[in-house]
Structure 1
């Protein structure tokens, strides 16, 4: 299984077994896992995505794990603190859309930056992704600061939604 390691974090793709356990056997998963699953994780957005994700993983091969839900784990504490959702495989132009969520207790900007930056680096190196797109509302000041810090550019405003993108220069 792939692991992306940073100074404080480990990012791993959510396996079919973990996804199914989150939906159908959460209490047993919490008891058996060496990793702590916070009560407020996954986010409502990811909870709604899990049935679709499970269905896709059952139809596809193991490589599909890389193109879906990733767990952000603070490895010193052995605790899931958030997730990154890769919304499908990169298209033929090398473009992929991401979203992220970090638990409120750990949601300092440095943790989110460390996780998203490491994930984008992995995508551009291992998956030949040329452009990453992320969205936020105009009221999400923390996300806007994060995207600016990552070097992303706001490319579009659609009502209350801002669309951000980053292109890796070395892949153009």
Structure 2
């Protein structure tokens, strides 16, 4: 198929249903089409930069650029986000996506836009000049492989003196489960998986809807009233806050590989503080105690933490009477640094 026979043009109102069908077929799910529908009604939408590829009156591809910004304290820099890019399966690998990206970037530059960011394949987008945004200390809102989040300057020196966190329109929140699906930590016996906002809601319900969502065996886990309160007061708001790295705010569930069931959890109480400290908390479900699972979970999380250069130490607190809990910390190299009437306080330097 010759791409020269394809016309690239802005979408029209009567294209919307066809575009939704195209996106659903391209991605094999409904979320991205719903995202585009929501973005059309948002301030982030740019009608002239929602483009379709048309052959013989059939829409075979679509690309969308929306307003985003890079936030660094009080400094904000306007930019574009490229997402999604969709091509009908029967037209893929025939140059349709390439035409859409090329003409989209040309139109964006002609409209005066200077920066474009994309989360995508590390071998595809560099063909258009994209480079890892990490080179300029520009971060994606959640932890993704650095090579997959990329930036392109459409104007000379557009990336000079810019750094910070990219902030997408809130409509993108519906994609978070798909964006984060690949982020896991594996040990010999366990998989640690960070839960998305929607998955946290199911976690609190304790009705096995989360287990169903994760394709796990049913469990009999329960959560305390104190933990429910923590979800409402801190966990839900922090995970929903797109200026924060949600991996430091959410619950990571520990899944037994052999039993395909949740056995416990670990979390961090927010991003590193000004001292470079990250506080961790963890727990194993009653029926899986005394199996060494939490020692394995904490060890894996500490290994993940030590890869972050801005983290200098991990800290934790345990109840004085909870001997198994502080044995977990001692086994992982934590040193007791203080105590109160009811708690012991621990620290592990990530240089150790």
TM-score (norm 2): 0.44
Between the aligned partners of 2:213 and 2:339, the Cα distance in structure 1 is 45
Match of 1:81 in 2: 263
**1:59-86 CA deviation, whole Å, 9 max, x = no partner?**
3268313433111111221111111121
Shift of 1:35: 1.6
* Residues 41, 82 of structure 1: 8 Å contact kept: no
Between the aligned partners of 2:215 and 2:328, the Cα distance in structure 1 is 30
* 2:221 is equivalent to residue 40 of structure 1: yes
Between the aligned partners of 2:206 and 2:301, the Cα distance in structure 1 is 28
* 2:195 is equivalent to residue 14 of structure 1: yes
More deviation in 145-154 or 3-12?
145-154
> What is the aligned counterpart of 1:149 among 331, 341, 346?
331
Please state which structure has a larger fraction of its residues in helix.
1
The residue correspondences of 1:1-172 to structure 2 (distance < 5 A) are 1=180, 2-23=183-204, 26=207, 28-36=209-217, 38-51=219-232, 52-60=234-242, 63-108=245-290, 110-126=292-308, 128-169=310-351
Change (3 A) 1:13 1:33: closer
Larger Rg: 2
Change (3 A) 1:62 1:117: same
Shift of 1:136: 0.9
Between the aligned partners of 2:250 and 2:213, the Cα distance in structure 1 is 24
* Residues 276, 311 of structure 2: 8 Å contact kept: yes
**Structure 1, unaligned runs of 5 or more:** none
Secondary structure of 1:135 counterpart? strand
Change (3 A) 1:63 1:169: closer
Between the aligned partners of 1:151 and 1:129, the Cα distance in structure 2 is 16
**1:104-124 CA deviation, whole Å, 9 max, x = no partner?**
211225211110010011011
Between the aligned partners of 2:329 and 2:204, the Cα distance in structure 1 is 31
More deviation in 45-54 or 109-118?
45-54
Between the aligned partners of 1:145 and 1:162, the Cα distance in structure 2 is 12
**Structure 2, unaligned runs of 5 or more:** 1-179
Between the aligned partners of 1:70 and 1:151, the Cα distance in structure 2 is 21
Between the aligned partners of 1:30 and 1:122, the Cα distance in structure 2 is 24
Number of aligned residue pairs: give it.
170
